[in-house]
Amino acid sequence: MAASAWVIYNEAKKYLLTGDIDLNAATLKLGLYTSASNAATATLSVHSEITNEVTEGNGYSSSGKALTYTWTVGASASEMRFDATAVIWTATGGSIANIKYAVIFQQGASAGARKLLCYSQLTTAQFTVTIGNTLTLSTPANGIFELN
């Protein structure tokens, strides 16, 4: 299964420039969404607008998993890469079902305060992580996105 490139939400570009998303200090989370989700709608701006998150339980939490992220120099000195360490879910007590999208968002006090950063379509058809198995999401070699 090959994931699509990460796509930055339209409003996230503004949030990055205004400092509403501060990639030096923000707590970023990664959530999973089903094939029925609207996660791939580029005009979404806050977490409360996304539909059909993967069902809570069996090793998945709807509050998402925290990302450990960094900025590094890209292929040339004029490029900066935004990257994160792998995020792992283990299906315990049952399966984590119907996964298709991953979304990175800024943690906030309410769903409306959680600004969306980007999404990736993990596969063309939804899939399930069966009990005892893990899902590991690693970033591509060139990071989540590059600025140059």
Digit-coded pLDDT (tens) for 104-138: 999 987 877 899 999 999 999 999 999 999 999 98
**Where do we find the tokens 């701006």?**
45
| pLDDT level of residue 81 (50, 70, 90 thresholds) | confident
**Where do we find the tokens 């989540």?**
144
12: three-class secondary structure by DSSP: helix
**pTM (2 d.p.):** 0.91
DSSP one-letter code for 113: G
Interval 24-40 mean pLDDT: 93
- pLDDT of 87 reads 93
List the one residue out of 27, 29, 20, 68 whose CA is nearest residue 50.
29
